[in-house]
Amino acid sequence: MNTNDPLECYLGRFQAALRGMTVAERQDIVDEIRAHVHERMCVSGRGIPDLLERLGPPEALAAEYIHGGLVPGQRATPTEWAFVRTAFAWMAACFHLAATTSVIVWGYGASLVCFGLFLLRMAVPQLTQVWLTSEWELGVGPDQPRDVQVFLLNWLQPVLIALAVMLMMLTTTAVKYLYPRFRQHKSTAIHFTRLPWFTGARSVASSLGRGVVDAQRRVSLRMRTRWQNI
C-alpha cells in the first residue's frame, strides 16, 4: 500500500474503524467504497480529496456502518425470529462443514484407493488376480486351480485410473461448491451472534460456564478433603 496515496490512507483508516465485522465483510465494504471513488473520479473528473470529503470522515463512515440505524437500539431488539435466523445460520454452517469434510474424506479417499489398486495391479498382476471356481469358490493370488474363471483382467487398469480421476474431479467440484457456502453461512452466523441480540444470551452462557467450572472445583476439593481424612 502506498501510504502517500490519500485514497489508500482513507481506506486504511476506514477499514481499521470497521470493528466487529469479519475480514471478508470489511474487505467487501472497502472494495465497494474504493470502486465508488474510482468511478466517480473518472466520471466527474473531480480530485480524490474532494471525493473523499463528500464521503465524510472515515471514522464517521465506519460508524454509519456499525451504528447507523436511525432509531438507537432498533436492531438490538431480541426477537424469536432473530434467534431462529441465528440458529439456522449455525446449523447451515455446521451442515456445510460436515458435508465438505465428508466429501473430502470419502471422495479423495475413494480416488486414492482406486489409484492404489491401479498401481498394485500394475506392479503385481499375478498376485492380484481374482478367480472363481466351478463350485463358486472365490480366490485371490497366483495359485489358482484348473478350470477357473479369472476376473479382473487387463481392462481393470484403465477403468481404475478413469475412476480415480473422475472421483478426484467430482470431489474437487463438490468442495468448490460446498466450501464457499460454509464460509458464507459461518460469516452470517458469526455476524448474527455478535449483534447485541445475543448480549444477554452470551452473558447467560458465560455465567453457566463459570458455574460449571466452580461446581467442578468444589467437587474435586470435597473429594480431596475426604481422601485426606481417610
Partner 1 sequence: MRSGEIDDRWEAQLRKGCLEMAVLAILASGRSYGLEIIRALETHSNLVLSEGTVYPILNRLREDAFVTASWVEAENGHPRKYYSLTRAGYDRASRMAEVWSEFAAGVNSLIQPLLPERQEKLL
Residue ranges in contact with partner 1 by CB under 8 A: 28-29, 31-33, 35-36, 38-40, 42-43, 54-56, 60-61, 64-65, 68-70, 75, 191
Q: Which of 65, 64, 37, 63 is nearest to 51 (CA)?
A: 37
Least separation in angstroms between CB 33 and partner 1: 7
Least separation in angstroms between CB 65 and partner 1: 5
12 vs 139, which CB is nearer to partner 1?
12
35 vs 165, which CB is nearer to partner 1?
35
58 vs 107, which CB is nearer to partner 1?
58
CA-to-CA separations, 228 to 36, 215, 216, 223, 224, in angstroms, rounded? 73, 20, 18, 9, 6
Least separation in angstroms between CB 110 and partner 1: 35
26 vs 96, which CB is nearer to partner 1?
26
Least separation in angstroms between CB 66 and partner 1: 9
Number of alpha helices (DSSP H) and beta strands (DSSP E) in the chain: 8, 3
Least separation in angstroms between CB 54 and partner 1: 5
Least separation in angstroms between CB 70 and partner 1: 5
3-state secondary structure of 29: helix
Structural contact between residues 30 and 11, judged by C-beta atoms closer than 8 angstroms: yes
Adjacent-strand bridge partners of 130: 140, 151
Q: How many CB atoms lie within 10 A of CB 172?
A: 15
52 vs 178, which CB is nearer to partner 1?
52
Question: Which residues of the chain form beta strands (DSSP E)?
Answer: 130-132, 138-140, 149-151
14 vs 182, which CB is nearer to partner 1?
14
Residue found by looking up cell 434467534 in the block = 83
